[in-house]
């Protein structure tokens, strides 16, 4: 059964975009995991013992500090003006790495390491190098591993770029968001084009050519024209990957976002059009569309993985990372272990206290049932490739082929509306239905209740 009972069949044909947005553009998860994080519960005992010996794992390190707060921010971060809270946190992080290394009790190989935040590039090259060395000591970083860091262009320097490259970082994701001054003023994030251009130059000089840009739509003062201009400016700097995220206005979770309500904000139809403008412009410039919101140049590893049907989706979005185990380090980080997700505390105080007692700072999690694992597979295929054979997925996971028949039947309204095509148990999202992929996935989410205050809009 699915919780997607809002898709009542009404036999309408050729609905307008506004009608589609009303029906399918509401609040749904981003499906970077299934079950999603809102299902994690506190009565969860951490377990690391099921990770197979000598398995390749991925590691995510959360650095929850920034120098100022962007008004649109939805991340778990804290504004700091000096380094002492950062250094205290790094000391606790070292303890967590050592504790996890000793608990797994045998050699695991790290194939992907990702520093996210916050603004991980508040850290110096030496800080990043010492974290990487400690991870290597405990998890054995394999040759050729991808080591990526998210970076705020306002905090980059040529020296940091050189330091990160020396530490082994080989991919940098720059938070660009928007190049227009009016929008930058509204979101409290002033970073002229020249600043982003300088970062790209410093990284290239340091030997880091794998550069991602994060861009956004749905922000104050943005229009289709400004989005087109952002794309034009972005491609001039030749990033190998681009993500285009819709601004998630969730003031009930992030009260500081209320300040944006004094500006004119794009409505659902304008947001939809802005996303389309960005998509068409990047495709026109030779980028390949990856999943619902990523773009990559043809030689980029993400594009190659998509072509080989090896694309995956995890908490960082679309990825080439095929490891079955993700170890999350730092406050709020989520680990994906065989049979379970677990999430660290979001409290700095609890994080340090638990580690000082030799305990993992885990706050909540969920054990995965065989049905969760099967549904996660279905949702991941839809998110990555816009098509899935539901009966085949059931069979591969040991369920009867008809197990998801009712969920597929719920998609009849979407079929009528041109969002999906149904061929027996094969669900294929149409080209025009792709902006609504998250709503299609929700039909296979047994936990989804359509709660408007738990997720951001689908479009």
Q: Which residues bind ligand SF4 (CB under 6 A)?
A: 66, 69-70, 73, 75, 77, 117-119, 152, 175
CA atoms within a 13 Å half-sphere pointing along the CA-CB vector of 119: 23
| Residue closer to ligand SF4, measured from CB, 66 or 303 | 66
Query: Cβ of residue 176: shortest distance to ligand SF4, in angstroms?
Result: 11
Question: Which residue, 119 or 138, is less far from ligand SF4 as judged by CB?
Answer: 119
Q: What span, in angstroms and rounded, lies between the C-alpha atoms of 362 and 381?
A: 29
Closer Cβ to ligand SF4, 118 or 328, answer by number: 118
Minimum distance, C-beta of residue 77 to ligand SF4, in the bound complex (Å): 4
Q: Which is nearer to ligand SF4, 346 or 430 (CB)?
A: 346
CB of 66 to ligand SF4, least distance (A): 3
How many C-beta neighbours within 10 Å does residue 150 have?
22
* 3-class secondary structure, 204: helix
3-state secondary structure of 261: helix
- Give the nearer residue to ligand SF4 in terms of CB position, either 160 or 375: 160
The residue among 219 and 234 lying less far from ligand SF4, judged by its C-beta, is 219
Q: What is the CA radius of gyration of the chain?
A: 22
CB of 144 to ligand SF4, least distance (A): 29
Phi, psi of 320 (to 5 degrees): -90, -5
Rounded to a whole number, what is the distance in angstroms from the first to the last CA of the chain? Answer: 25
Length of the chain: 459
Q: What is the DSSP letter of 345?
A: -
CB of 79 to ligand SF4, least distance (A): 7
User: Minimum distance from CB of 437 to ligand SF4 (Å)?
Assistant: 24
Using the 8-state DSSP alphabet, how is residue 182 labeled? Answer: H
Cβ of 43: how many Cβ atoms within 10 Å?
6
Q: In 10 A of CB 352, how many CB atoms?
A: 19
Distance CA 392, CA 402 (A): 10
Smallest gap, in angstroms, from Cβ of residue 174 to ligand SF4?
11
Which of 50, 57, 46, 48 is closest to 108 using CA atoms? 57
CA triple 3-5-9, angle to 5 deg? 150
Would you say 177 or 381 has its CB closer to ligand SF4? Answer: 177
């Amino acid at each position: 059964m699915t919780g997607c009972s809002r898709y009542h069949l009404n036999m309408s044909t050729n609905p307008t975009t506004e009608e589609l947005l009303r029906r399918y553009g509401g609040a749904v998860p981003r499906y970077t995991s299934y079950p999603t994080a809102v299902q994690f519960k506190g009565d969860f005992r951490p377990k690391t013992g099921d990770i197979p010996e000598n398995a390749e794992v991925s590691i995510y390190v959360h650095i929850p500090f920034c120098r100022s707060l962007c008004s649109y921010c939805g991340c778990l971060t804290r504004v700091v003006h000096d380094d002492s809270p950062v250094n205290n946190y790094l000391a606790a992080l070292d303890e967590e790495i050592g504790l996890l290394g000793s608990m797994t009790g045998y050699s695991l190989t790290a194939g992907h390491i990702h520093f996210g935040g916050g603004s991980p590039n508040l850290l110096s090259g030496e800080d990043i190098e010492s974290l990487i060395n400690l991870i290597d000591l405990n998890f054995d970083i394999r040759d050729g591993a991808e080591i990526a860091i998210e970076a705020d262009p306002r905090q980059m320097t040529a020296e940091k770029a050189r330091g990160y490259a020396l530490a082994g970082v080989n991919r940098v994701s720059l938070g660009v968001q928007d190049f227009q001054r009016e929008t930058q003023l509204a979101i409290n994030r002033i970073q002229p084009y020249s600043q982003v251009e300088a970062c790209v130059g410093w990284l290239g000089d340091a030997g880091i050519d794998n550069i991602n840009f994060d861009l956004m739509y749905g922000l104050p003062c943005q229009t289709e024209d400004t989005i087109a201009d952002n794309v034009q400016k972005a491609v001039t700097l030749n990033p190998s990957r681009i993500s285009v995220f819709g601004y998630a206005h969730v003031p009930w979770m992030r009260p500081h976002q209320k300040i944006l309500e004094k500006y004119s904000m794009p409505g659902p139809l304008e947001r939809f059009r802005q996303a389309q403008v960005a998509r068409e412009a990047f495709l026109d410039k030779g980028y390949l569309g990856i999943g619902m919101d990523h773009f990559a140049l043809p030689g980029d590893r993400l594009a190659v993985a998509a072509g080989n049907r090896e694309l995956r989706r995890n908490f960082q979005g679309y990825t080439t990372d095929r490891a079955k185990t993700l170890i999350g380090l730092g406050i709020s980080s989520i680990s994906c272990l065989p049979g379970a997700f677990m999430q660290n505390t979001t409290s700095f105080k609890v994080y340090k206290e638990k580690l000082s007692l030799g305990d993992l700072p885990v706050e909540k999690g969920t054990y995965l049932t065989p049905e969760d694992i099967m549904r996660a597979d279905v949702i991941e295929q839809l998110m990555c490739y816009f098509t899935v054979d539901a009966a085949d997925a059931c069979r591969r996971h040991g369920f009867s082929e008809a197990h998801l028949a009712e969920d597929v039947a719920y998609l009849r309204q979407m079929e009528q509306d041109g969002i999906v095509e149904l061929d027996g148990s094969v669900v294929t999202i149409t080209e025009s239905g792709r902006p609504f992929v998250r709503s299609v996935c929700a039909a296979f989410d047994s936990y989804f209740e359509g709660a408007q205050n738990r997720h951001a809009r689908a479009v």
